[in-house]
C-alpha cells in the first residue's frame, strides 16, 4: 500500500490519527476485496494475506505462558517456539505471520481471525519502518519482527497520554486497522442498524444498560455476520457511536 501521503516521524514511522484508519482500511479493501465494502460478510483474511499481501501463515506455540497471540517477520529471523518436548529455535522467513496455536480450535476462530488481521495490519502499516528492503525509510535499526501481546489485540481502552510508548502506538495502529478491515464502517453500521430495527430498536444506537436481551442479540448476530468475537463487534460499535452510555 502506498502510505506516502501520511506524515512520517523522523524515525520513519507514520503519524496516523483515528480517522486515517477508516481511509486506509477502505483503500486496502477497495483494492483487494471490494465486495467486502458492499455486502456485510466475513473478510477472507487468509485469502487476502496469502494472495494479496503475499504473507505466509504458520501456527506454533510462540510463548510459554500464552501471553503472545501473534507475530510477524519483516525480515528472516529466529524465534523460540514451544513443543511437547520443550522448546526449540525456529527460523521464521520474511513475510511470515505466526499465530499462536492456542487460537487453533473452532471456538477460537473469531479471535484467530482478528489476530491475523492485526498482524496483516502491521505489515501494511509498519513494513517500511522494519524492512531492510526499504532503507530510505529505515532511519535507525528496527527489530526484524514484532510479537504481539494478548492484551494489545482486541483492546478497547488505550493509554492516550504522553506516556504511550512507540511500541504501544504501533499496537494501537495495527489493532485499529484490523477492526476496520474486518468490520468496514459503512456496511457494518448499516447491518447494525438493520439488526436493531429487526429487534424493535428504532434509535440509531444501543444504550448501555437498556433493552438487554435485544442488545445482546444484535451484537451476537453482528459478530456472526462478520465472523468476529462479540468483544470485537462491541468495541467497533462503541467507536462508531452505535453503542452509547446515554442519550
Q: Which stretch binds Zn ion (CB under 5 A): 80-88, 97-105, 172-180, 214-222?
A: 172-180
Binders of Zn ion in range 96-125 (CB under 5 A): none
Q: How far is the CB of 145 from Zn ion (least distance, A)?
A: 11
Tell me which stretch binds Zn ion (CB under 5 A): 95-103, 131-139, 146-154, 217-225. 146-154
Q: Of residues 92, 125, 174, 219, which one binds Zn ion by CB under 5 A? A: 174
In contact, 104 and 58? CB cutoff 8 Å: no
> Contact region for Zn ion (CB under 5 A) — 11-19, 95-103, 133-141, 165-173?
165-173
**How much of the chain is in helix, strand and coil states, percent to nearest 5?**
45, 15, 35
Contact between 74 and 131 under an 8 Å Cβ cutoff? The reply is yes
Q: Residue 37 in contact with residue 187, Cβ under 8 Å?
A: yes
Under the binding rule (CB under 5 A), the answer on residue 182 touching Zn ion is: no
Nearer to Zn ion, 174 or 179 (CB): 174
Min dist CB 177 to Zn ion, Å, is 10
Which residues have CB under 8 Å from 41's CB, separation 6+?
Answer: 35, 225, 226
Q: Give whichever of 144 and 171 is closer to Zn ion, judged by the CB atom.
A: 171
C-alpha cell at 155: 483492546
Strand-strand pairing, 96-100 and 56-60: parallel
Pick between residue 41 and residue 147 the one whose CB is nearest to Zn ion: 147
Half-sphere exposure of 182 (CA within 13 A, CB side): 35
Using rule CB under 5 A, residue 148 touches Zn ion = yes
Query: What span, in angstroms and rounded, lies between the C-alpha atoms of 227 and 233?
Result: 9
Residue number, nearest CB to Zn ion: 148
Part in contact with Zn ion (CB under 5 A); list of ranges 1-9, 167-175, 203-211, 213-221: 167-175
Please work out the total of residues on this chain that contact Zn ion, with binding judged by CB under 5 A: 3
- Binding segment toward Zn ion, per CB under 5 A, in 83-91, 159-167, 170-178, 181-189: 170-178
What is the smallest separation between the CB atom of 17 and Zn ion, expressed in angstroms?
19
Question: Which residues contribute to the site for Zn ion (CB under 5 A)?
Answer: 148, 171, 174
Amino acid at each position: 500500500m502506498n502510505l506516502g501521503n501520511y506524515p512520517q516521524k523522523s524515525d520513519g514511522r507514520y503519524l496516523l490519527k483515528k480517522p486515517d484508519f477508516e481511509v486506509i482500511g477502505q483503500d486496502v479493501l477497495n483494492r483487494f476485496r471490494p465486495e467486502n465494502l458492499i455486502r456485510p460478510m466475513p473478510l477472507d483474511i487468509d485469502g487476502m494475506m496469502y494472495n494479496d499481501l503475499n504473507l505466509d501463515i504458520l501456527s506454533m506455540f510462540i510463548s510459554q505462558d500464552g501471553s503472545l497471540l501473534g507475530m510477524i517477520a519483516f525480515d528472516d529471523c529466529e524465534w523460540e517456539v514451544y513443543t511437547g518436548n520443550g522448546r526449540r529455535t525456529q527460523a521464521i522467513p520474511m513475510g511470515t505471520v505466526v499465530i499462536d496455536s492456542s487460537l487453533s480450535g473452532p471456538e477460537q476462530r473469531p479471535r484467530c481471525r482478528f489476530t491475523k488481521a492485526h498482524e496483516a495490519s502491521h505489515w501494511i502499516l509498519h513494513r517500511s519502518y522494519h524492512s531492510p528492503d526499504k532503507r530510505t525509510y529505515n532511519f535507525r535499526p528496527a527489530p526484524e519482527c514484532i510479537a504481539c501481546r494478548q492484551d494489545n489485540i482486541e483492546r478497547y481502552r488505550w493509554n492516550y497520554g504522553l506516556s504511550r510508548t512507540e511500541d504501544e502506538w504501533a499496537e494501537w495502529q495495527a489493532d485499529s486497522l484490523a477492526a476496520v478491515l474486518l468490520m468496514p464502517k459503512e456496511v457494518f453500521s448499516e447491518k447494525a442498524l438493520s439488526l436493531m430495527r429487526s429487534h424493535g430498536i428504532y434509535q440509531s444506537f444501543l444504550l448501555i444498560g437498556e433493552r438487554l436481551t435485544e442488545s445482546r442479540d444484535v451484537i451476537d448476530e453482528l459478530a456472526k455476520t462478520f465472523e468476529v468475537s462479540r468483544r470485537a463487534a462491541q468495541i467497533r460499535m462503541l467507536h462508531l457511536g452505535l453503542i452509547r452510555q446515554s442519550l
